Structure 1
Amino acid sequence: MVAEERVRSSFARQGLMETLGATLVRVAPGAVEIALRPGPGVSQQHGFVHAGAISAIADSAAGYAALSLMPAGTGVLTTEFKINLLAPAAGERIVARGRVVKAGRTLTLAQSEVFAETAGQEKLIALLTATLMAVRGREGVSD
């Protein structure tokens, strides 16, 4: 199975992404884009998209970017991430663009930039840096 098919198949099994209404927009080797439409189901008390939803799509974009470079039969798990929330998440669409910074045999470093889009303009609203672990031979964790 090619990397894009692996990523799309795995994404389709993620209940949280479905619950959030997130969609997988683009998959390329070492890069993934996930989008989310703001709405009441993902908002916080001031009407902005909740930081938890922003973190979730940013983490998934980084993780799937990492998975796209891993060998078949290998899964990926986030071991840690740090997110900087730079501006309120408000717009017509929220987009997380994950990319691999350095791929290793066991650990991969990836980043996601998250943008709010309004009227065709993008504003950087968050930056996530993640360390992801390749998982092989573990029941229930594969591509």
Structure 2
Amino acid sequence: MARILAIDYGTKRTGIAVTDELQIIASGLTTVNTKELIPFLKKYTATEAVELFLIGEPKQMDNTASESEVHIQKFIDTLLKEIPQIEIKRVDERFTSKMAFQTMIDSGLKKKQRQNKALVDEISATLILQSYLYSK
């Protein structure tokens, strides 16, 4: 089996999480400067077997698309051109940032560590991936 890679896209930073080869465990991989995201994904998929990209789908409380959806769609269009062989699925990402922050509190991270936005993005990507794995 190949890995599943989850992407919590942001205009500045993007959190990335990945499964093991058996698609059982979701782990935070890294946070990447969004300008370097496509080159990072091309390099990663050249060395690791990835069968699916999960991309967070931010929605408002009334289920309409959030403002960042325009940027995410542009990214998806580019991703489809650059790495067309890997399927893309969208996953509702409402509340993942809040849940990530709560996870950091629950795990005992100090206030200074909880202000690390890159870590929040990585944990958010992991939560997106975990929710997908649970739903399978």
Give the TM-score normalised by the residue count of structure 2: 0.24
TM-score, normalised on structure 1?
Answer: 0.23
Larger RCO of the pair (alpha carbons < 8 Å, separation 6+): 2
